[in-house]
């Protein structure tokens, strides 16, 4: 999806969440609220994934320092 479409969907989810907060609390409302929060988080993650540069991330992983574990000092 395009970034603009994702941003609009995130805003729509935020509005729906705000509307549900105004409703009296019940089990159904809580379930709907939880599902909307989860959907919003998924959309935010997709947007974040699109904004990151894949090439730079791969280069960083390639040149990443290897951590030494304590067991590495005792290898023969």
Decide: 28 and 41 in contact? Cβ < 8 Å: no
Scored b (16 or more CB within 10 A) or e, 62-71 reads eeeeeeeeee
What would the pLDDT profile of 13-63 be if each residue is shown by its tens digit? 999 999 998 989 899 999 999 999 999 999 999 988 887 777 777 777 777
For residue 45, give its domain range.
3-74
Query: Residue 75: is its pLDDT beyond 90?
Result: no
* Residue 8 banded pLDDT, cuts 50, 70, 90: very high
Single pTM value for the model: 0.66
Question: In this predicted structure, what is the pLDDT of residue 32?
Answer: 93
Tokens read off for 53: 């540069």
Q: What is the total count of domains within the chain?
A: 1
């Amino acid at each position: 999806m395009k970034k603009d479409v994702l941003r609009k969907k995130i805003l729509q989810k935020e509005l729906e969440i705000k509307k549900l907060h105004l409703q009296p609390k019940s089990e159904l409302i809580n379930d709907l609220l939880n599902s909307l929060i989860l959907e919003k988080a998924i959309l935010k993650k997709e947007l974040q994934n699109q904004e990151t540069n894949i090439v730079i991330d791969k280069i960083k992983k390639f040149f990443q320092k290897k951590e030494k574990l304590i067991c590495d000092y005792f290898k023969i």
